[in-house]
Homo-oligomer: A and B are copies of this chain.
């Protein structure tokens, strides 16, 4: 049973373990720093499908299948899947997993979906709702550009603050943990925090990092306050995905508003997926649900398993606008959800 710590944070005493995970990505992502670490790189962003949306579904389904298989399980053994994506009505997810027969609880958190779905899966396992749950998400550059910005064929200029939606999917399998005094051999989820909506009035849909930084700031500072810890207590505070602009803004906000310097332990998935000094066309870095999903499941979880990282606070950030709300001159509300992932022998 979960135990509330402070105002917003929840401790999961049963320590749900991450028993499997997988990341698949597109060609451009495969050419980035994590290229060799993905379970599979699609050389064709169309994934052999006729439309970008179907390609995203295929990629999403692939990541889920690989994660379940790597956990040594079958679809039949999964009690529930928490999943979502950026597409209207989350069709990247629903069409991707419809053949599995796994009970499906759809979540919507924009680019925070990986953290939100993992939090939901973890509390389900902790509360005995599931013995095993899957948490997954996806995004696709082409389906996202078409939906949120301009048709690709238009060839519009991109602003330097804009981020590059990752063509990628990440999936984790979360299973019943071991009692607190037993040894746990894989990464496990120790705490979660569900974020509040923050809206600082940013209206530029090409500057999502700025819109999401205040939400990340709120969730990280809530978490540190609730747990009475400081950034140095963590090996990594990993946001996903603020990019270069949002990263500077987050660090500045944390200092100015909270007097907390996270710069020594903070990294952002958008700047891990792509090397923006080499892959210049990605602008301020990667974004999209699939970005943090794929970075977590290719770069971070293996490092937790091999002991290189012991305590990682993963904070997914999402911008909760639509193209309609932007056209109606609305600002961009944002939310950030956090999951504290620990290695086997961390306290």
Q: Which of A102, A105, A124 neighbours the largest number of chain B CB atoms within 10 Å of its CB?
A: A105
Complex alpha-carbon distance, A2 and B176, angstroms: 13
User: How many copies of this chain sit in the oligomeric assembly?
Assistant: 2
Is there contact, CB below 8 Å, between B105 and A194? yes
A106 surroundings in chain B (CB, below 8 A): 84, 107-109, 116, 320, 335
A248 surroundings in chain B (CB, below 8 A): none
A47 surroundings in chain B (CB, below 8 A): none
A197 surroundings in chain B (CB, below 8 A): 94, 97-98, 100-101, 104
Within 8 A of B (CB), among A311-342: 320-325, 328, 330, 333, 335, 337
Shortest C-beta distance, A16 to chain B (Å), equals 12
A residues lining the B interface (CB < 8 Å): 1-4, 8, 10, 50-51, 53-54, 79-80, 84, 86-91, 94-95, 97-98, 100-110, 116, 119-120, 123-124, 126-129, 147, 193-197, 199, 320-325, 328, 330, 333, 335, 337
* CB < 8 Å neighbour of A123 from B91, B100, B129: B129
* CB < 8 Å neighbour of A88 from B100, B105, B199, B323: B323
Shortest C-beta distance, A303 to chain B (Å), equals 28
Shortest C-beta distance, A47 to chain B (Å), equals 15
Is there contact, CB below 8 Å, between A103 and B195? yes
* CB < 8 Å neighbour of A128 from B4, B97, B103, B119: B4
* CB < 8 Å neighbour of A330 from B87, B88, B95, B195: B95
A4 surroundings in chain B (CB, below 8 A): 79, 128
